[in-house]
């Protein structure tokens, strides 16, 4: 069985770990793994060059989590992490002092940047670093070309007529997504998101094939705007999703009107979508009417939304969505696969 998953960072990582766990139990290969082939298509819109190093937050979150090297308590990065190099960079006045680059994490960034400079693609560099961790899941960046999400926010000084930098009242300014997300904790109202480099990008090798050739396509409970939304904008991916024979089952990242993790609300409001499981499901849309999804998993607490969604033509199932343990995440992945099996039947 071939399973393809669209995924962002932390939510995607937990979902993939649960999926792997579920498949090891239900389709074991007799050696601790699974006979199922899992391919993750990972958002790279958060990637950035920082002091000459290519940082890929979502790929690394997934790699560390699946590799058992993640910091469970903090929710991101490597466990046992330290920041000796980062402290030096701050002393030298380079980099972003508010953006943590852990020492262990830097090993990944330096390796990847080195491979990229040697002429390898991001796909190749990702395969190289992932090989160390024996993930049991193939990680594919959505694209080998840089597609960086920038956030356009209202300019400072709007209305005061004397903004520094020559920006007129109400002028917009933009910043890399990670600056908006980490430095400002998504606290500056976003006017819109821009994907820089999108025009020159194509889906990375294997991405379209994994969607077209998959038996199931799952949409992880990741940020619908800047993770899944970004993946969907990459030329080639949307049409592969339209054309695949595989059922496409999505998992809501919103439970009871709040993001399971992170600040998805600030992203959703920028595109005029309510922070609600039904609103996000309708935003993705039913495949029958030109949308993404064949089915949509919402949390049991949101089962009241089912009638409205069914009316809009979206097949919806209410299951426990909280992934507060590997077992719960495995059960959720199992529910998504069960729904896909029904759709294929």
Residues in the site for a second copy, rule: CB under 8 A?
A: 51-53, 82, 84-85, 87-89, 91-95, 103-104, 106-108, 110-111, 113-115, 117, 128-129, 132
Compute φ and ψ for 16, nearest 5 degrees: -65, -40
The distance of closest approach from Cβ of residue 321 to a second copy in the complex, given in angstroms and rounded to an integer, is 35
Q: Tokens for 14?
A: 């937990």
Cβ closest to a second copy, residue 132 vs residue 185: 132
How far are the Cα atoms of 32, 181, 195, 196 from residue 175, in angstroms, in the given order?
A: 45, 10, 12, 11
Give the DSSP H or E segment for 3.
Answer: strand 2-7
What CA–CA distance (Å, rounded) separates 262 from 222?
10
Cβ closest to a second copy, residue 51 vs residue 269: 51
The distance of closest approach from Cβ of residue 96 to a second copy in the complex, given in angstroms and rounded to an integer, is 12
* DSSP letter assigned to residue 68: T
The distance of closest approach from Cβ of residue 115 to a second copy in the complex, given in angstroms and rounded to an integer, is 7
The three-state DSSP-derived secondary structure of 187-239 is: CCCEEEEEEECHHHCCECCCHHHHHHHCCEEEECCCCCCCCHHHHHHCCCHHH
Q: Which residues of 54-70 are buried (b: 16+ CB within 10 A; e: fewer)?
A: bbbbbbbbbbbbbbebb
The distance of closest approach from Cβ of residue 89 to a second copy in the complex, given in angstroms and rounded to an integer, is 6
Cβ closest to a second copy, residue 105 vs residue 299: 105
Cβ closest to a second copy, residue 110 vs residue 341: 110
Cβ closest to a second copy, residue 123 vs residue 301: 123
The distance of closest approach from Cβ of residue 86 to a second copy in the complex, given in angstroms and rounded to an integer, is 8
Cβ closest to a second copy, residue 19 vs residue 63: 63
Edge-to-edge strand ranges of the sheet holding 190-196: 172-176, 148-154, 190-196
Rounded to 10°, the helix 10-26/57-66 angle is 30
The distance of closest approach from Cβ of residue 61 to a second copy in the complex, given in angstroms and rounded to an integer, is 17
* DSSP letter assigned to residue 290: T
Cβ closest to a second copy, residue 90 vs residue 269: 90
The distance of closest approach from Cβ of residue 32 to a second copy in the complex, given in angstroms and rounded to an integer, is 22
Q: Tokens for 88?
A: 């030096």
């Amino acid at each position: 069985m071939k399973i393809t998953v669209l995924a962002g960072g932390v939510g995607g990582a937990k979902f993939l770990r649960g999926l792997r766990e579920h498949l090891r139990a239900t389709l074991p290969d007799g050696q601790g793994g699974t006979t199922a082939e899992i391919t993750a298509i990972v958002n790279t819109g958060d990637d950035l060059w920082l002091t000459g190093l290519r940082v890929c937050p979502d790929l690394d979150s997934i790699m560390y989590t699946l590799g058992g090297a993640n910091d469970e308590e903090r929710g991101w990065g490597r466990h046992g992490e330290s920041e000796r190099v980062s402290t030096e960079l701050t002393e030298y006045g380079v980099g972003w002092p508010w953006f943590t680059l852990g020492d262990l994490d830097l090993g990944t960034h330096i390796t990847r940047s080195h491979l990229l400079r040697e002429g390898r693609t991001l796909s190749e560099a990702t395969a190289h670093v992932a090989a160390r961790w024996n993930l049991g899941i193939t990680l594919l960046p959505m694209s080998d070309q840089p597609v960086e999400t920038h956030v356009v926010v209202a300019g400072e000084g709007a209305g005061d007529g004397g903004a520094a930098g020559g920006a007129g009242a109400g002028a917009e300014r933009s910043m890399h997504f990670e600056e908006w997300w980490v430095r400002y904790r998504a606290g500056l109202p976003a006017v819109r998101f821009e994907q820089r480099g999108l025009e020159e990008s194509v889906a990375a090798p294997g991405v379209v094939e994994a969607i077209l050739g998959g038996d199931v396509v799952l949409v992880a409970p990741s940020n619908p705007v800047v993770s899944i939304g970004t993946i969907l904008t990459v030329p080639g991916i949307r049409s592969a999703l339209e054309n695949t024979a595989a059922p496409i089952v999505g998992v809501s990242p919103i439970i009871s009107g709040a993001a399971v993790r992170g600040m998805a609300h600030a992203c959703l409001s920028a595109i005029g979508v309510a922070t609600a499981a039904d609103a996000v499901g309708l935003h993705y849309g039913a495949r029958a009417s030109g949308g993404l999804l064949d089915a949509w998993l919402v949390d049991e607490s949101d089962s009241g939304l089912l009638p409205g969604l069914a009316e809009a033509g979206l097949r919806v199932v209410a299951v426990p969505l909280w992934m507060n343990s590997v077992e719960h995440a495995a059960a959720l992945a199992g529910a998504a696969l069960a729904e896909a099996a029904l759709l294929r039947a």
